[in-house]
Amino acid sequence: MSQANVNWPRWVFASVCKHFDDNKSSLTLFIEGQHRKTRTLKDFAELRVDGPYLTEVSKGVWKLFIEVNVLLQSAMDDTSFHRIHTNAGIIVAAFTGIPVYKYGDGVDDDKSLLGCLQIVSDARGKERIQVSHFGRIDTGTPLMQATVEGHYEITFLTV
């Protein structure tokens, strides 16, 4: 068994964050855990990344799998009842291939391209980009929530 690169999780996460930030249109995007003030925002999105899950599929060949989930929140008002759906569409369009670069300021972080995360899908629909609408989350609070989720894979070589 070869050893996974200690930088892969960080490089993947940084690349995913940059990709969704670059493709969010006019939406405000937060990264999960980031400090934020949302009181004055009608709409915002929060990016969450689970993984990577790493599997050595053959000697020196590693497959990494991640789950990307974007939570959307829109304040309800009488001007547009479709904003949450419009925002979901913006995020759905961002679920494309994601180039992975060696981002950071360490010795190994030369910003070179490592590969591309590919969206995982199958013909039976078990793997897909999925939009889930939760509607109004609390009757006392005029907010709508939805999520957009997709899964990605990339293969890295250690040899």
DSSP label at residue 140: T
Question: In this predicted model, what pLDDT tens digit does every residue of 114-140 receive, in sequence order?
Answer: 999 999 998 887 889 999 999 777 777
Contact 148, 24 (CB under 8 A): no
Domain membership flag for residue 56: yes
Domain membership flag for residue 3: no
Full residue range of the structural domain in which residue 88 is found: 8-157
Contact 155, 63 (CB under 8 A): yes
State how far the Cα of 131 lies from the Cα of 147, in Å rounded to an integer.
Answer: 6
CATH number, domain of 104, equals: 3.30.2000.10
Q: Which residues pair with 138 in a beta bridge?
A: 141
Q: What is the pLDDT of residue 139?
A: 73
User: pLDDT > 90: what percent of the chain?
Assistant: 75
Please classify residue 66 by burial: count the beta carbons closer than 10 Å to its beta carbon, then call 0-12 exposed, 13-18 middle and 19+ buried.
Answer: buried
Looking up tokens 């590693």 gives 62
Domain membership flag for residue 1: no
Domain membership flag for residue 126: yes
State the 10-residue block means of pLDDT for the chain, 159 residues long. Answer: 92 98 96 82 94 96 98 86 92 98 95 97 88 82 91 92
Q: What is the pLDDT of residue 36?
A: 78
Contact 89, 83 (CB under 8 A): no
Q: What is the pLDDT of residue 81?
A: 75
Q: Count the domains in the chain.
A: 1
Distance linking the first and last C-alpha atoms of the chain: 12
Domain membership flag for residue 67: yes
State how far the Cα of 119 lies from the Cα of 56, in Å rounded to an integer.
Answer: 19
Domain membership flag for residue 138: yes
Q: Which residues pair with 49 in a beta bridge?
A: 68
Domain membership flag for residue 2: no
Domain membership flag for residue 115: yes
Question: In this predicted model, what pLDDT tens digit does every residue of 33-51 receive, in sequence order?
Answer: 888 777 788 899 999 999 9
pTM for the full model? 0.93
